[in-house]
Structure 1
Amino acid sequence: MISSLRGRLFIGLTAIIVLTGAIGVMFVYEWAFGEAIELQDSVLSQLASVAQTGRFSGGQLRGVDKDTDVRLIELGKMPHGSADDRQLFGLKDGLQIGTRNGQPIRVLLHTRSDGSRFAIAQPTAVRDDTARDMAFRTLLPIAALIPCLMLVTALVVAYSLRPMVRLAGDLDARRADELTPLPLAGTPSELHPFINSINGLLTRIRLLMDQQRRFVADAAHELRTPITALSLQAENLDSVSLPDIARDRLAALRQGMRRIQHLLEQLLALARHEAPLVERCEMPLTALDGAAKEVVADLLPYALDRGIDLGFQLVEPLVVRAEPVMLSTMVRNLLDNALRVTPRAGHIDVGVYREGEAAVLQIEDSGPGIASPDLERIFEPFFRGSHPQGEGSGLGLSIVKRVVERLGGSMTLENVDGATRSGLRVTVRLSLAAAPSKEVNRVA
């Protein structure tokens, strides 16, 4: 069973062409064969007119091709000669079927004014061979036309389905969060119901995603207030004299509330970066190196407290089109993840450099890396890998991925597995933007 619409159309139209061509060939062959026989009868009549004016000896007529095997037979005024001649003499004038030497012949008998009779004869086998040859020659253009029609049919089917292929390509090229309606202009009217159905589905999905985004943002916002109040109450207990066991439990409580606060902040950031933004061409010009330096400066005390060497390997002044908060969020989440998994006395190297027409941000840590089976799912929200470490929420890389997509860039993760070091290397590539320095936002 052929599932391809193009294949069904091609096979169906080809079958029609072949069937119609076969029927046409049979009719044309019969018509051409009959016309060839009539033409040969006309030739016999013309030869009879020539023979009536002159008397030739029996045998082949002069000027007639030997391959046609046309002969003049003088029958005289009375039956005589062989049995075949006497049999021919008994036939009426005109075109008749007779036999000569045991073979059927087509003859044209005629009586002259003096009463003598003659016959122009030609073997039926020769006539049939000539007629078949002429009929086949007539069929050659039709036989050559059928493959040409099949080729034209394939081209027409491919051309007719090209809008559908283009539509599928446009859908495949879209980002996962691009839910703008498909255009109807320039598409065949037969596809309009299909496109309208897709647009309706996209609208429903967009509404559903908006509802989900608003729910996450509202829930995170509403939960942040009571969690903040509880954190303040826990901070107030520091001045209260408590037993050691109670103080240990208070420390665990405060750590849990910090994790909840961090999760709520991540949820708010995820909802913010999933919301529709302005076009990238309308975003301000921001220094990527400045954003990276600001975040590294903020996190450096925490890295020093854990004995982690956090610093730059290479920094070049690069400008990209992006909201400053987006770059700050992107760099901060990447460094948060690296600091969380890097062991004490480890190191995190940050690089900001140019590569062709791209601005590259590269962060490499000396942690355990990511298990190969987890690389395909690491950008899913709340996924922390097969062996989670630290207190992460599993949202950091999801937020970074959405920011990079908003900025039209790309992001790759690869494990570093060398003889002297291991870890994870994250590379983000964004399009460079050139502008006068006074227009560049240097604040992350």
Structure 2
Amino acid sequence: MYRSYRDANHEVQELFDAQLAQSSRSLQAIILYNIEAIDNFSAQEILNYPITTANTDPINEYDLRDTHSYERKMAFQVWDNGKRLVLRSASAPIIALNKNALTPKARGFSDVMLNNEKWRVFSLWDKQFKHLIQVGERYAIRDELTSEIVKHLLLPSITSIPILALMIWFGIGRGLSPLRKVAKEVTRRDTAHLEPIKLSNVPLEILPVIEELNALFHRVHTAIEKERQFTDDAAHELRTPLAALKVQAQVAKAAKNSEEKSSAIDNIIAGVDRATHLVQQMLVLARLGSKDNSSAKINSIHIRATSEELIAQLALRAIEKNITLSFQCDDNYIIDGEKTNYEILLANIVDNAINYTPNDGNIVIKITDSDNNIKLTVTDNGIGIAEKNLERVFERYYRVRDSAADGCGLGLTISRQCAEQLNAVIKFTKPKTEVGLKVSISFPKQSLI
């Protein structure tokens, strides 16, 4: 608002200054052309008439047509040599409008105070510096015009602001009402109510937000279900080994001789080892289940070197059973994925083969190039798995019957999840010898992009 007033005032000042200058030159051209005749003529009487009539005499219709109240706010003077007042308007004083301009050096625009009012004066000398014309007007005229301009400019805006604000408030409120409904619905939710928000009557502008929110609900629901499943599994699977430990502890306590006590303690240690292995496998499975494959860090895995390191760590267990563990790889193949997943996958497959291969058995680990895939095979001559049970090997806690091998039935379940996160395909078949088990894992080759 202040800027509008300032700009309007500036333009008004420029316009009125130009009029003052133009009026001065017009008077100079008209009056000074025959100053002697004007000096002897009763021109001053004519100039005095409108003001005198307006001040003293009753104003008739003729007077109203020949005068205007604003004439009192404007004035001019004609000075001879800056000393004698030759002519003036009725509203002009008998003293100079601008005393400082009575000398040729001081001319042009100036601001003066007359009768406690501010005036704008323009002083113009002729070329011979004999006659001076001063034209002035009150600043009140300019201020009034500026105020009127600003009022007419701003009044519509000011009156429309409440209406505009109301329209904006209504529009925003109506536009945000779907968000408020969604916010209320989300506020009422808890972990037991994670069903998706209905997409009916949802504006297109916030549809992607609601879809992403529903996807988040789904992920949270999946995570909670996995957590609940892990808790249930832990409670179920740990009950038996803990009960066995309690029994063995009671046997050790009631032992009548050192041999019975030592045997019970050995059983307790073995039970603790089995329980520890179970807990470790369950924790690995829970960690894999909580991973988002899309956000996993992708690295280059040199599977030959990685496999050699891992097989060397597992070789001690094979030596204990006098199992021949061989590794064949004709090139240093590279795949994409997280190295930890590959290590867990291979460790579980080889560990499973060692568990179910009898003493003096053979395990062959081979890595080859097969079309667009890198193929890893682990073949043993153990007890194998009946063909009807091959589809069940990935079930949690499934163990081959009539097996003396220790285990908790989670190793192959973990292997499958690792394979999925490596975009690999894992299959179980009978080897050509029809003895034992052959595990084949196909990895996609490393992307060239």
**TM, length-normalised to structure 1:** 0.46
Q: Which has the higher contact order (CA 8 A, sep 6+)?
A: 1
User: Which structure: larger Rg?
Assistant: 2
